[in-house]
A and B are shown apart, each in its own frame.
Chain A
Amino acid sequence: MTQSELPVLTKKDFESDQDVRWCPGCGDYSILAQTQKTMPDFGVAKEKIVFISGIGCSGRLPYYMNTYGFHTIHGRAATIATGLKAARPDLMVWVITGDGDALSIGGNHLIHAMRRNVDMKMIMFNNRIYGLTKGQASPTSPIGKKTKSTPLGTIETPIIPLNLVAAAEASFIARSVDTHSEHLQEMMHRAGEHSGAAFLEVLQNCNIFNDGAWRDFTDKSVKEDRMLVLKHGEPMIFGAEKNKGIRLNGLQPEVVTIGEDGITVADLWVHDETDPDATRTQILSRMWWPDFPVPVGVFRRVPRPTHDQLLIAQIDGAKAARAAKGPVDLQKLLASGETWTVE
């Protein structure tokens, strides 16, 4: 069946027969719903879609998708996706992970999957806590955070995930929020359409062990003033009154008010997803409430050949070069080097 002959699929086609078992009120429900809603967008047959996860609450998502799914081990989902995609470039591979899974135990694999540009779409549920193990500090927990394992507060500086993946040369970087369902769907759609390693951080609420971790700026009542929705080619404007903006002074971002001190829209930083230099991506990734509005949207989207494309190109090139010298003879390969015959 070619892609054009595919029946039109709906969210329902992507729901598995398994009961969803996250805590009531968990942000993961919304992420799952948006994932199922987005899948029909790509016109890919569901048997060609694979969801791979690590360990943690996020790791259960593949069980709820009526696609191929592989719930692997802690931190290593990216490694399995790397091998799968190299072996099977025809598949659409999604990796579901969390802040502990991707940034702590799987930190090394995250870096290398990004720099290799493995054609995988990684969705990282960031709730700044270990939920499945019932409430220990994670690599994104803020300094001073009191948890079961840090009763006097963490003494470790948190990782800024998007800053890390930008440094690791990720070719697609985005952020959204579990409860901002339309925006989340749009980000999933854009991640799915990207060719190469896509990293989507979803700010997700764990209502049991870390309730309200993002509420300060994601809550409906304040988000207009405290979040910045990035749009490619448009100046960075935010605020309920649409009168606040970001100006880039050298490498220093500044919050400015349009109409004050002679500031006009023309002075604002115009977002460029396709900026080949990741420096400005990193500046954006470090902007955080209360000093700045927290950016969401596509931070970076640059074209780069994927790992599987480059691997196949090398193989095709080597095959062509070899074919020019005549057909491959494995019998001759076995006999390479000096041989002698015993009668």
Chain B
Amino acid sequence: MTTPDSGAQHGTVTELDRVTIRFAGDSGDGMQLTGSQFTATTALFGNDVSTLPDYPAEIRAPAGSLPGVSGFQISFSSGDIHTPGDRPDVLVAMNPAALKVNLGDLVPGGAIIVNTDAFNDINLRKAGFTEDPLKNQSLQGYNLYEIPMSTMVAGACEGLGLTSKQVELTKNFFALGVMFWLYERSMAGTEKWIAEKFAGKEAIAEANRRALHAGYAFGETTEIFHTHYRVAAAHLPPGTYRNITGNEATALGFVMASKLAERDLFLASYPITPASDILHQLSSYKHLGIKTVQSEDEIAAIGAAVGAAYGGAMGMTTTSGPGMALKAEMLGLAVMVELPLVVVDVQRAGPSTGMPTKTEQGDLLMSMFGRNSDSPIPVIAPATPAECFTMAIEAWRIALHHMTPVVFLSDAFLATGAEPWRIPNIADLPSIKVENAPASDKPGFRPYQRDPETLARPWAVPGTPGLEHRIGGLEKLDELGTVSYDPDNHHRMNLLRAEKVARVARDIPATELFGDPTGDLLILGWGSTYGSIRSAVERLRARGKRVSHAHLRYLNPLPTDLEAMLKNFKHVLMPELNAGQLRMLIRAKYLVDAVGFNLVRGKPFQIGEIEAKAESLLGESVEAAK
């Protein structure tokens, strides 16, 4: 059998800068696995990669049906990339439903690789095809590669003593093998994975290995592919890298925050898509001393986190929109008692249950204002999957130093999307440690005596002699913390709570501006739209447009340098995956006539969409100038 390194390959090689592939099949076809194996190998090869899984919400929709289609998109490049790609260049469709669901996204002239064995009458009917698209002229505008994958793996796995159903399950590795050949990838990583995954199940391991090699050999020896493709390694900054999803980076960021704060981490959560993976990962770190509780509901989860914070631990909870809604009252209590707390909201499409596996940026205003009365809370948002790590530490740095709950707004796209992460050297990360209030032998401890700089109150932890005191949700007398209904005191405390959060702005980095400090258009974004906006701005600038990009990680308080930045541009465009929530805040605060670009389809912006919107704004401005 030929190996990737043998060099005995037929046909021509085409050099490409960037390729986007979508693997699509039935939920049971192993498409997420195929995609993640291709990703790992591609990242190891040295390409910059960005991925987006797209799985159906239904646990197990009927096999072969349209709702049962599961997809995984990977974009990889020899340059710096920011998104999983707008539209795939290559579609691997394991059945008719996968073809039907994904064909519309494929670029004109793109490649389709299909498993012809799945194109039988039953599957065609389930997918809603009245006639076989492989046999009529409907795919004429594409490069269609027809491979009888099921037949091929059946042949490859002969003599292993496996059932035909077991053999059929290996066809995704056949497809992977074909793709490995097509893009000059090594099979070594996947072979190692197969050996580890199926340790002790030798026949299954061998079947998958054979399927993989059969796919590779098929690409190499058959004449259907006229060329294969080379995407050179990218020039990433030096360092050690791994591929990481946003949820993984978030969990590791909290582990690191606990280490840097030298304080115990406590997580209480209620399972909810797409946040549960953070609970799973932190629950597996018992050996690091991390305490986790799966609570009885969303309110109990944040309640336990507040209780742990009261006890001096780093209490936190993770959730998504519907859970965030339930946590509002307890967040208000955390504001009132001024305890550090981190709440992660991995946003998903709403309202209500919405589309749980799909992304949206709809919870910003809820995080800002979704509580009774004036109840200010710092809100921060990572921009990329890998950045979830540093922003998770930031969430805790702010919570601890300012004695406040902090909302960390991730979203489904960041949570499940992946990119290479340059692993930081722990020794380089600064401490975020704070001290508890010390024991006292004097009477009259004042639990609301504030730090003059930050206005943070002391963290007076039970067990500390001499600091016995009572706190609660009732309004309290300034400094003393005893219950007070005094009107002027209430007004003063309201101002103090607001000012305390406003002063966080003194403690955050300057806003990074990509492009020139003045120009015709500033595109202002936040959260997971970073990649699409940055790519669009790169393209616009390459065409000579005077466009810059600023991306906010700190949404409350807003950075103090933002106002001047906004006023240096003729236009401000704000793409958001909501109806314009940050735009409302920006317009209210700075009286800037920011224009919105708002799509809520449960998926990220395409680069081209932002580009077109920017072009139209710039065009209108040219028209107006005439």
Is there contact, CB below 8 Å, between A330 and B286? Answer: no
Complex Cα distance, B474 from A62, in Å, reads 13
Interchain CB contact (< 8 A) of B239 among A50, A81, A314, A341:
A341
Q: Which of A73, A318, A319, A336 contacts B333 (CB 8 A)?
A: A73
Give the docked Cα–Cα distance between A135 and B288 (Å).
50
Verify B307–A83 contact, CB threshold 8 A.
yes
Interface residues of A in 93-126 (CB under 8 A from B): 108-109, 111-112
Kindly identify which residue among B238, B243, B306 contacts A80, using a CB–CB cutoff of 8 Å: B306
Contact between A71 and B315 (Cβ–Cβ < 8 Å)? Answer: no
Q: How far is the CB of B46 from chain A (nearest CB, A)?
A: 7
4 more A-B residue pairs beyond the given contacts A63-B470, A79-B300, with a C-beta to C-beta distance below 8 A: A65-B470, A66-B468, A79-B302, A83-B306
**Which residues of B lie under 8 Å from residue A47 when comparing CB positions?**
462-468
Q: Is A33 an interface residue (CB 8 A)?
A: no
Given contacts A76-B299, A80-B306, A90-B463, whether A335 and B311 have CB atoms under 8 Å apart is no
Known: A79-B303, A83-B303. A334 touches B236 (CB 8 A): no
Bound together, the chains give a CA A45 to CA B268 distance in angstroms of: 29
A–B pairs, 20, beta carbons within 8 Å: A66-B468, A68-B470, A70-B337, A70-B471, A80-B307, A82-B295, A83-B311, A84-B462, A85-B307, A86-B293, A86-B308, A87-B264, A90-B463, A315-B289, A318-B287, A330-B259, A334-B426, A338-B43, A340-B43, A341-B240
Query: Smallest CB–CB gap between B79 and chain A, Å?
Result: 14
Query: Are B310 and A70 closer than 8 Å at their CB atoms?
Result: yes
Which 10 A-B residue pairs are closest in the complex by CB-CB distance? A79-B303, A71-B472, A83-B307, A83-B304, A318-B286, A80-B307, A322-B287, A69-B470, A84-B307, A87-B308
Contacts of A334 in B (CB 8 A): 252, 256, 423-424, 426
Contacts of B569 in A (CB 8 A): none
Closest to A336 in B: B242
Give the distance to chain A from B240, nearest Cβ to Cβ, in Å: 5
Contact present for B286 and A72 (CB under 8 Å): no
Give the distance in Å from the alpha carbon of A86 to the alpha carbon of B287 in the complex.
Answer: 16
Q: A76-B303, A79-B299 are in contact. Are A338 and B242 (CB under 8 A)?
A: yes
Q: Is A333 an interface residue (CB 8 A)?
A: yes
* Chain B residues in 8 Å Cβ range of A71: 470-474
* Nearest CB of B to A55, in Å: 8
For residues 183 through 213 of chain B, which have their beta carbon under 8 Å from a beta carbon of chain A? 189
Contact in complex: A82, B40 (CB < 8 Å): no
Q: Verify if B330 is at the interface (C-beta below 8 Å from A).
A: yes
B255 CB-CB contact with A under 8 Å? yes
Residues of chain A at the chain B interface (Cβ within 8 Å):
1, 16, 18, 45-48, 50, 52-53, 55, 62-63, 65-73, 76, 78-88, 90-91, 108-109, 111-112, 311, 314-315, 317-319, 321-322, 328, 330-331, 333-343
Contacts of A16 in B (CB 8 A): 470
A78 to B330, CA, bound (A): 13
Interface size of B by CB at 8 A reads 69
- Measured CA separation A70–B310 after assembly (Å): 9
**B190 to A: closest C-beta gap in Å:** 11
Q: Chain B's nearest CB lies how many Å from the CB of A109?
A: 6
Q: Which residues of B contact A (CB under 8 A)?
A: 40, 43-44, 46, 189, 236-243, 252, 255-256, 259, 264, 266, 268, 286-289, 291, 293, 295-297, 299-313, 315, 329-330, 332-333, 337, 423-426, 462-474, 482-483
Chain A residues near B236 (CB-CB < 8 A)? 342
Residues of A near B239 (CB, < 8 A) are 341-342
Q: Is the CB of A333 within 8 A of B255?
A: yes
The residue in chain A whose Cβ has the minimal distance to the Cβ of B474 is A71
Complex Cα spacing A321 to B288, Å = 11
Task: Check if B287 sits within 8 Å of A321, measured CB to CB.
Answer: yes
Could you tell me if A315 and B286 are in contact, using CB atoms closer than 8 angstroms? yes
Nearest B residue (CB) for A337: B242
Give Cα distance in the complex from A55 to B556, angstroms.
Answer: 31
Interchain CB contact under 8 A, B243 and A337:
yes
CB distance from A11 to the nearest CB of B (A): 16
Bound complex: CA A81 to CA B310 (Å): 10
Q: For residue A340, which residues in chain B have a CB less than 8 angstroms away from its CB?
A: 43-44, 46, 240-242
Q: List chain B residues, Cβ under 8 A from A318.
A: 286-287
Chain A: minimal CB distance from B45 (Å) = 8
Bound-state CA distance A80–B299 (Å) is: 10
Q: Which of A76, A321, A331 contacts B425 (CB 8 A)?
A: A331
Complex alpha-carbon distance, A73 and B407, angstroms: 20
Bound-state CA distance A72–B423 (Å) is: 41
- A91/B463 in contact, CB under 8 A: yes
* A82 pairs with B483, CB closer than 8 A: no
Q: Which residues of the other chain, A, contact B468 by a CB distance below 8 angstroms?
A: 46-47, 66-68
The residue on B at minimum CB distance from A341 is B240
Interchain CB contact under 8 A, B473 and A72: yes
Q: In whole angstroms, how far apart are the Cα atoms of A53 and B240 in the complex?
A: 50
Q: Is B300 touching A82 in the complex (CB atoms < 8 A)?
A: yes
Are the CB atoms of A88 and B312 closer together than 8 Å?
Answer: yes
Q: Say whether B315 contacts A338, CB under 8 Å.
A: no
Q: Which residue, of B291, B337, B464, B467, has the highest number of chain A Cβ atoms within 10 A?
A: B291
Is A342 a contact partner of B238 (Cβ separation < 8 A)? yes
- CB pair A331 B482 closer than 8 Å: no
- Shortest Cβ distance from A142 into chain B, in angstroms? 29
User: In the complex, what residue of chain B is closest to A92 when comparing beta carbons?
Assistant: B462
Known: A70-B471, A71-B473, A82-B304. A87 touches B464 (CB 8 A): no
Q: In this complex, which of B301, B466, B468 has the most chain A Cβ atoms within 10 angstroms of its Cβ?
A: B468
Cβ of B333: which chain A residues have Cβ within 8 Å of it?
72-73
Bound-state CA distance A47–B437 (Å) is: 13
**Given A82-B304, A318-B287, A339-B241, residue A76 in contact with residue B330 (CB < 8 A):** yes
Cβ-neighbour of B303 out of A82, A85, A331, A336 (below 8 A):
A82
Residues of B within 8 A of A45 (CB): 465
Measured CB to CB, the nearest residue on chain B to A1 is B465
